[in-house]
Structures are given as structure tokens and as C-alpha cells.
Amino acid sequence: MERRSFIKQTALASAATFFITKDLFAKSDDTIYGHGNMRYRMDNKWAKADPNINPVNDCHEFVQDNQGRIMLLTNETKNNVLIFDKSGKLLDTWGHEFPGAHGFTRFDENGTEVLFITDTVKHQVYKATIDGKILMTIDVPLETGVYKKAEEFVPTETTVDTNGDFFIADGYCAQYVTHYDKNGKLLNFFGGRGDGDEHLDNCHGILIDRRKSTPTLLVTDRTRNCFKRFSMDGKLIEVIKLPGACVCRPVIKGNHLYAAVLRSPSLNEADSGFVTILDKHNKVVSNIGGTEPVYKDGVLQPMSQAEKIFRNPHDVLVDDDENLYVAQWASGKVYPYKFTRV
């Protein structure tokens, strides 16, 4: 689905449900969510912030800094970044210049923390200090020859290699992944729209997977309900099929792969999200708010929302205690929920 059409449909749906309370789908009790040994207790009142003072719009993504603080990115320009401790206390805020704040990546650069922020409205990617000072700006990569104007470049996510090279996923327009060196010089690009497995559609997220000896790139193909694994130079290696799950960016903690599922079974079904968890063998082992994963003859069966605890989850952060924090898009401007592992 085109980003423009998707936003238009969502806006209409939101207008129709204007008078529904923002926590319609959320509940805090002793219910345990998830499957197998990946089960959690939900706290939808985790964030101790005042929406009248520190509002959020779409809660897009998280990072956790070296102090253990949880940094949330929202496209609310009154405070694009909200910083919490793990108890949910609001510690600080910054940022007013990112109307399309979307992707959020933290990187240790020679002992100094830096951030990468993508802006889907300004068609740019920014490298910044941990407190928001802009260090580098990446514009539309006209040198690829596949872009003719800025509006064709709608970056949604980044990932950074150990040498400072970084990759940008254009998940809302031309669907290319571009590869840059640490100084912002374009090195390569791959993907793009198309029907073949090597092509992408809604390549919303990207991450370097280092769980094996050879690093690879995991790229979201949200419309097609899968992650795709590429070599670092852009050659397709594997398709990880997740039927029924419109996954957002991949998140790795330990041996597990986590992802917010924005909607299920397609992007046309509003307020139908959940969170999925895969093991190191790419097998789904738990769904929070979703149906229990079932395999028949080794093939994963279609998944869907089973419990109305989320509307449209957009990102997952996993802390050092393996607790989860879930941010939501177009979900009544709610703060993130915390899920404590049990």
C-alpha cells in the first residue's frame, strides 16, 4: 500500500473513532501474555508523563543509552525525544525540528554515543549527538540515478556497522536500501520496488544481524509479511516468512528477534497489531497479543491479533532484564506500554 493512501485511510478511520477513549484496547491486570517461556505481564501506565505538558503523537521508535535511559522518538514537535528511566519517570526531553521523526538508531562511535534519526516529512536522515546536536544530514541520494527529487526519498530506518558505515531503508517510497561510509559518501544501493524476492515493498526497517560469525542485513518487507536477509553488499540470502504479520523493524536481543506487528493480516486492518518473537532459528516462539504460533510440516501458519491489548504497535525495545517496551503508531497518542517478563 502506498504511504499516502495508507495515511489517508488511517485519518478517516481516526476521525470516525474520535470519541473513543485512547486506552480502549489497553488494560492493566495480572493477565499473562505470550507463549512458551516468553511470557509477560503488561503495564499500560508505565510512563509517568503528563500529556498536557509532554504530548506524543505517533510513538515511533526507542533506543536505550549507555546510562540505561529509554529514549522515545515521536513526531510531536513539542518534544521529539522523551527520555525515561526504566521505572517510567520522565527525565528530560529535546527536539522540535523533526515533524516526520520516524527511525531512531543509537551507535557507539569511538566511545561516544550518537543517534541516527530519519524524517519522513523532510526527506532527510540526521546523525546527531545523544542530546540532539546535528552532526550530519543526508539528503535524497540523487547520485544513484533512481531518485529525481527529494519527495521520492522517504527514509524510515537506519542501521550502523562497526566501522561507522550506515544503511538507510527508504520504506515509504522507492523502497531502496542505500549504503554510506561514515562520512556520508554513497557506496551502494539495492532493493527497490518489484515482484522478485530481491525487491522490497514497505522496507520499513533494517538491522545488522551479528548472531552468526558473518554479519548480514535483515530488512523488513512489511506488505509481504516477511523479513529478508541480505549480504552486506545487498545480495538476497533468505526470506523469513511471517504470514499474517505486517512487521515493523527487526530488533535483536541475545539470540531472539523481536518485532512489533503493526497490523494483521494486512495493512488494511486497523487496530489489529501484536508483538512477535522469533528464536535464533527464525521460528516464532511467542506472540504478545497475537495467536499462538502454529507450525504444520515445518510451515508457520497465518498469525493474527488475538487479544485487544494493542492497536498499531510500531516498535519494541528490550532492556537488560528482558522486559519489553512497546510504542504505538496512530493509537490515540498513548505513551509506551511496559511488559515485564515472568
The residues, ordered by sequence, that sit 6+ positions from 70 with a Cβ below 8 Å of its Cβ are 62, 63, 64, 83, 84, 85, 86, 317, 319, 325
Q: Tell whether 5 is covered by a domain.
A: no
> Do residues 114 and 129 make contact, with C-beta atoms less than 8 angstroms apart?
yes
Q: Residue 195: its pLDDT value, please?
A: 94
Q: Residue 81: its pLDDT value, please?
A: 98
Q: What is the mean pLDDT of residues 284-302?
A: 98
Q: How many angstroms separate the CA atoms of 159 and 169, rounded?
A: 9
DSSP-assigned letters across all residues of 50-63: -TTTS--SSEEEEE
Q: Tell whether 3 is covered by a domain.
A: no
**Residues 80-93 pLDDT 10s:** 999 999 999 999 99
Q: What is the pTM of this model?
A: 0.92
In this model, does residue 107 exceed pLDDT 80?
A: yes
Taking CA atoms, 126 is separated from 76, 115, 185, in Å, by: 17, 8, 14
In this model, does residue 257 exceed pLDDT 60?
A: yes
- Residue 265 belongs to what H/E stretch? none
Percent of all residues in the chain with a pLDDT value above 90, rounded to a whole number: 91
In this model, does residue 13 exceed pLDDT 90?
A: no
In this model, does residue 17 exceed pLDDT 50?
A: no
In this model, does residue 11 exceed pLDDT 90?
A: no
**Residues 245-256 pLDDT 10s:** 999 999 999 999
- Residue 278 belongs to what H/E stretch? strand 274-278
Q: What is the mean pLDDT of residues 273-291?
A: 98
**Residues 204-234 pLDDT 10s:** 999 999 999 999 999 999 999 999 999 999 9
Percent of all residues in the chain with a pLDDT value above 70, rounded to a whole number: 92
* Mean pLDDT for all residues in the chain: 93
Q: Residue 6: its pLDDT value, please?
A: 45
In this model, does residue 18 exceed pLDDT 90?
A: no
Q: Residue 298: its pLDDT value, please?
A: 96
Q: Residue 29: its pLDDT value, please?
A: 65
Residue owning grid cell 532484564? 321
Q: Tell whether 253 is covered by a domain.
A: yes
CATH at 57: 2.120.10.30
Q: pLDDT-based confidence at 21, cuts 50/70/90? A: very low
Q: Tell whether 75 is covered by a domain.
A: yes
Q: What is the mean pLDDT of residues 21-27?
A: 48
> Would you state the cell numbers that stand for residue 23, as one nine-digit string?
486506552
Please indicate whether residue 2 or residue 333 has the higher confidence score (pLDDT). Answer: 333
Q: Tell whether 6 is covered by a domain.
A: no
Q: What is the mean pLDDT of residues 158-175?
A: 98
Q: Tell whether 90 is covered by a domain.
A: yes
Q: Residue 30: its pLDDT value, please?
A: 87
> Do residues 274 and 261 make contact, with C-beta atoms less than 8 angstroms apart?
yes
Q: Tell whether 319 is covered by a domain.
A: yes
Q: pLDDT-based confidence at 157, cuts 50/70/90? A: very high
Q: Tell whether 223 is covered by a domain.
A: yes
Q: Residue 27: its pLDDT value, please?
A: 52
In this model, does residue 4 exceed pLDDT 60?
A: no
In this model, does residue 106 exceed pLDDT 90?
A: yes
Range of the domain at 81: 26-341
Task: Give, rounded to a whole angstrom, the gap between the first and last alpha carbons of the chain.
Answer: 37
Q: Residue 301: its pLDDT value, please?
A: 98
Looking at the 3D structure of the chain, how many domains does it have? 1
**Residues 30-73 pLDDT 10s:** 899 999 999 999 999 999 999 999 999 999 999 999 999 999 99
Q: pLDDT-based confidence at 5, cuts 50/70/90? A: very low
